[in-house]
């Protein structure tokens, strides 16, 4: 009953045009992770694995109220002629295979820009620890495992897997769409217009890493990007959305023009904003289309 009531309230708000007024003249950066091909089952930490049909519906809904632009344009004040719509930048984290070969082609066919934040050390069809350790029955990752993995083990996949194996914590095998893409997959998507940017080398928690490790993670990734994608944008998405004053300093010192969180909401272009704590609206699986409309307009946050 509660879910039905929420859906009815979302529908009423959308029919009243609340989302259009909320979006007017504002900017938002959307954070996606994986896109699950139609006909396949979502696995791993299911909140990160959005069904293809839902993604397509969300993109269509987004275009009703927003102009989709590259990240740097969301900070620019709209002109009088374009202020009827908000501005939105679409981003993906982690370089999941499904996002590269299922999600991105939908955007490319519509001529819409997007940025993929890639951890190069995780490419090659590897699965991510948070997906491996998620409960197959519920599709959720135990909060205690997540917190220990991030806070004590620094978000380092190999350390977390070793710790889990020592304690007999079960893991699951993931299908190809729920694993990372290959270097070739990223190259092909980039050749079609997908912008590629930094997500550190191995997806560690920059907020808890020591300075030397953090610096190495960023400089190694910057070198890889410069070699493979010379015109890549110099943005960073903090792994796990975790930021600290030290990680912001590291990002700035490494020459990134800005760094993005995985939480927050829309913002007013032209208003003061910390370029090393840029908010994004995370888009998990399970959000209704109307709920999505309200979320990207900043009307609701959950």
pLDDT digits (tens, 9 = 90+) for 179-222: 999 999 999 999 999 999 999 999 999 999 999 999 999 999 99
CB-based contact 265:28 (threshold 8 Å):
yes
C-beta of residue 69 within 8 angstroms of C-beta of residue 83: no
How many Å apart are CA 225 and CA 77, to the nearest integer?
30
**CA–CA separation, 207 and 143 (whole Å):** 18
Comparing CA positions, the residue from 143, 109, 140, 114 lying closest to residue 284 is 140
Closest C-alpha among 198, 201, 118, 116 to residue 158: 201
- Quote helix, strand, coil % in the chain, to nearest 5: 45, 15, 40
**φ, ψ of residue 42 in degrees (nearest 5):** -70, 135
CATH class of 26-48+69-76+89-287: alpha beta
23-45: pLDDT as tens digits: 678 899 999 999 999 999 999 99
Domain segments of the chain as ranges = 26-48+69-76+89-287
Bridge partners for 115 per DSSP? 91, 195
Instruction: Note down pLDDT in tens along the chain; length 302 residues.
Output: 566 566 666 676 666 676 665 567 889 999 999 999 999 999 999 999 999 999 999 999 999 999 999 999 999 877 655 557 899 999 999 999 999 999 999 999 999 999 999 999 999 999 999 999 999 999 999 999 999 999 999 999 999 999 999 999 999 999 999 999 999 999 999 999 999 999 999 999 999 999 999 999 999 999 999 999 988 889 999 999 999 999 999 999 999 999 999 999 999 988 889 999 999 999 999 999 999 998 998 876 66
| Residues 280 and 261: beta-carbon distance below 8 Å | yes
Q: Can you tell me the distance from the alpha carbon of 97 to that of 36, in angstroms, rounded to the nearest whole number?
A: 9
- The whole-angstrom separation of Cα 226 and Cα 232 is 7
Residue 143 belongs to what H/E stretch?
A: helix 143-147
Structure tokens at 74: 């969301």
Q: For residue 86, what are the β-bridge partners? A: 66
Chain centroid to CA 271: 23
CA–CA distance, 94 with 42 (Å, rounded to integer): 16
């Amino acid at each position: 009953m509660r879910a039905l009531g929420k859906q009815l309230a979302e529908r009423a708000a959308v029919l009243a045009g609340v989302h259009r007024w909320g979006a007017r003249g504002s900017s938002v950066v959307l954070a996606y992770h994986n896109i699950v091909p139609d006909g396949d089952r979502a696995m791993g930490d299911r909140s990160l694995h959005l069904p293809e049909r839902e993604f397509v519906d969300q993109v269509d809904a987004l275009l009703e109220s927003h102009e989709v632009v590259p990240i740097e344009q969301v900070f620019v004040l709209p002109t009088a002629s374009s202020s009827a719509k908000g501005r939105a930048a679409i981003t993906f984290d982690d370089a999941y295979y499904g996002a590269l070969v299922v999600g991105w082609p939908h955007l490319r066919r519509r001529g819409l820009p997007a940025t993929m934040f890639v951890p190069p050390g995780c490419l090659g069809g590897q699965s991510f620890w948070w997906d491996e350790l998620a409960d197959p029955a519920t599709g959720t990752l135990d909060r205690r495992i997540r917190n220990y993995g991030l806070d004590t083990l620094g978000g380092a996949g190999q350390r977390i897997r070793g710790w889990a194996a020592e304690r007999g914590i079960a893991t699951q095998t993931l299908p190809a769409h729920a694993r990372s893409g290959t270097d070739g997959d990223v190259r092909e998507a980039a050749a079609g217009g997908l912008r590629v940017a930094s997500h550190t080398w191995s997806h560690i928690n920059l907020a808890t890493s020591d300075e030397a490790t953090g610096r190495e993670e960023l400089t190694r990734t910057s070198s890889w990007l410069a070699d493979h994608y010379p015109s890549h944008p110099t943005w960073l998405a903090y792994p796990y959305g975790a930021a600290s004053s030290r990680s912001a300093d590291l990002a700035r010192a490494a020459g990134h023009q800005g760094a993005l969180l995985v939480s927050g909401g829309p913002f007013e272009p032209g208003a003061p904003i910390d370029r090393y704590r840029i908010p994004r609206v995370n888009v998990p699986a399970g959000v209704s289309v109307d709920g999505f409309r309200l979320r990207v307009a900043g009307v609701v946050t959950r």
